[in-house]
A and B are shown apart, each in its own frame.
Chain A
């Protein structure tokens, strides 16, 4: 995770040096229909789970995807894995268009994209032995029995479990160990992309750190690309090169990882940061907390303009009427806000409209008069 990589990979769209990114998400929309009626079901509404999001993941990088429940982060990760069909937009993996790929086209690609799930108690079959669980993907992709056994033992070693554990059942392991089994299963086919859906949120703090460090080591050893989905900003920081913040199906901000914490541009990001209690009593007493009121609105009928405006302390008329485009600031830092925080007037003047902006967004970029200047969050 070098600095050069971070800078190069920052921003949406293909990276500057000509390599095509591993994953490209292009104006992706995923809507879920709500149907009603007897005999003849009619679509009465749609849940706007992912609503025009564009981003890319470069080979070898870790993209953190953060947002609260219902923001579309899980739908997004499943759509990238092609477990959910996109409604509109395009998805490319290694440059290959997989938007409408069927089972047959996906089969060889499945080897290259794997997933680790949030709940290690629910994502392992309780009736199968560890060896069978980890060996299953290998067998499905045509390895013979003897090879599978050796590989499984090898994988167990790599994730820090004992090789003798191959004949145990999942219930004989603790949460952290189970998550290691989940990681071993994802590694089995030597994938290029692993989508980690809240891989540590079900674990104890002291064990979380172990798993994060393990994921970090594995990424170096196997040149993996990660998409790390999380609901808050504290854990994701330690693994990510870039972080994308989603709210109500929209991309709010996309930033090089460290910069998001020192220079959050979107008020929503700033609110997310302020909401995390700091484990230091003095610091806590000193800092003024902005508690954002309200709750995320219903994704069936998202608010007009900027989707965050009903909860935003900086919202004005323009936010209610015009959907903000994603403005590109230095270091490939993107933010969709009419009133950007933590940026200088010069940076605002130099900002350009990024091609990742939603198609329905307005053209006008933030101007100095709108912005709150170099305001820094608590």
Chain B
């Protein structure tokens, strides 16, 4: 089965954000934790890039490093991350402050803890607008009301003077989105934006993010562990495992022709409501490695049923599928072997033959 070619919009302009061999490590009592290990990707205007991985895969550290939020005395950074040509990794705090919020904005996972609980929500947004643009109070306030209205908060004019505790979780996440959009950023980093929300509210928020992307043309980096959300909204996907990107490609390439055993294991272990239920859920055996003590070579090796001698060397992230320059993966198996091992049944995806499922 050949995957359809990129359905994603392919903007012709140069990358907005260019991350090159980014490495982040933290010195801890247990040794050096290599949280991000040579991550390279590009983000173009108007696209949604989903960074997918489980806890400890380095997806959040990657996102937060771009915002300069992982800086601490025990952290070490290597590589580069350029936003419209400006280097972010070595940037001074002043430079970062200018970019943060205005050019690159972030939505955090937990709307309960990421707003200031003792400040009215309107003031928090006005403060951000005035920090970046010297507009008068009244104008900033008008814009705040407009923003709240745009993200779908009913009676925005009355609610602008409420405190965060007076909002429900879904409404608070909307306030976070309004805050992130307040200075019309060109890059929006959303770190698990809907994980803390109920499904019906999640559907509303995703719908909103999609609309706003179309209205504003901002590029979005969506950090998530939920492949359902990814299928709903992403154009391209980067799958991370133990600090490295193990596979990268368009939405359809990853879902219909996954090249890395971890990717297809992940796709296979999702519970689905639209298909008959399997006797047993296919699970990836074992646990992700500790980042302080990672296996040599391919990090997925200890959990991989297809391990062979070559796997003790680190596979480079490169295009291995003929005719698809944008589909990269880190696995030594040949494309034919992968397609043999990975069983794709009609209407089902990413099921591993080794795990076996009775449909």
Question: Which residues does A use to contact B, with CB under 8 Å?
Answer: 68-69, 174-177, 204-210, 212-213, 216, 231-235, 237-238, 258, 261, 271-284, 289, 291-293, 295
Closest CB of chain A to B177's CB: distance in Å?
16
Cα of A278 to Cα of B7 in the assembled complex, Å = 18
Is B199 in contact with A204, judged by CB distance below 8 angstroms? no
Q: Does B209 contact A (CB under 8 A)?
A: no
Which residue, of B55, B231, B267, has the highest number of chain A Cβ atoms within 10 A? B231
Q: Which of B55, B200, B206, B231 contacts A175 (CB 8 A)?
A: B55
Cα of A231 to Cα of B200 in the assembled complex, Å = 11
Cα of A204 to Cα of B280 in the assembled complex, Å = 17
Q: Which of A176, A232, A261, A279 contacts B199 (CB 8 A)?
A: A232
Is B200 in contact with A272, judged by CB distance below 8 angstroms? yes
Which stretch of B63-71, B84-92, B167-175 is in the interface? B167-175
Question: Which residues does B use to contact A, with CB under 8 Å?
Answer: 7, 54-55, 168-171, 198-204, 206-207, 225-232, 251-252, 255-256, 265-267, 269-274, 277-278, 280-285, 287-288, 349
Cα of A69 to Cα of B274 in the assembled complex, Å = 23
Is B287 in contact with A209, judged by CB distance below 8 angstroms? no
Q: Which of A69, A174, A209, A237 contacts B198 (CB 8 A)?
A: A69
Nearest A residue to B265, CB-CB: A206
Closest CB of chain A to B79's CB: distance in Å?
26
Is A272 in contact with B281, judged by CB distance below 8 angstroms? no
Closest CB of chain A to B85's CB: distance in Å?
33
Cα of A111 to Cα of B211 in the assembled complex, Å = 53
Give 17 A-B contacts (CB < 8 Å), ordered by A residue: A69-B169, A205-B269, A206-B269, A209-B282, A231-B199, A276-B199, A277-B228, A280-B231, A280-B274, A280-B349, A281-B231, A281-B251, A291-B203, A291-B207, A295-B168, A295-B171, A295-B201
Cα of A177 to Cα of B230 in the assembled complex, Å = 27
Is A279 in contact with B228, judged by CB distance below 8 angstroms? yes
Which residue, of B171, B229, B230, B269, has the highest number of chain A Cβ atoms within 10 A? B269
Is A237 in contact with B273, judged by CB distance below 8 angstroms? yes
Contacts of B228 on A, CB cut-off 8 Å? 234, 276-279
Is B273 in contact with A273, judged by CB distance below 8 angstroms? yes
Cα of A281 to Cα of B277 in the assembled complex, Å = 20
Contacts of B231 on A, CB cut-off 8 Å? 277-281, 283-284
Cα of A63 to Cα of B49 in the assembled complex, Å = 39
Cα of A287 to Cα of B138 in the assembled complex, Å = 44
Beyond A69-B169, A209-B269, A279-B255: 16 further Cβ-contacts under 8 Å? A68-B199, A175-B55, A204-B55, A209-B283, A261-B274, A276-B199, A277-B228, A277-B232, A278-B231, A278-B274, A279-B227, A280-B272, A280-B349, A283-B231, A289-B203, A291-B200
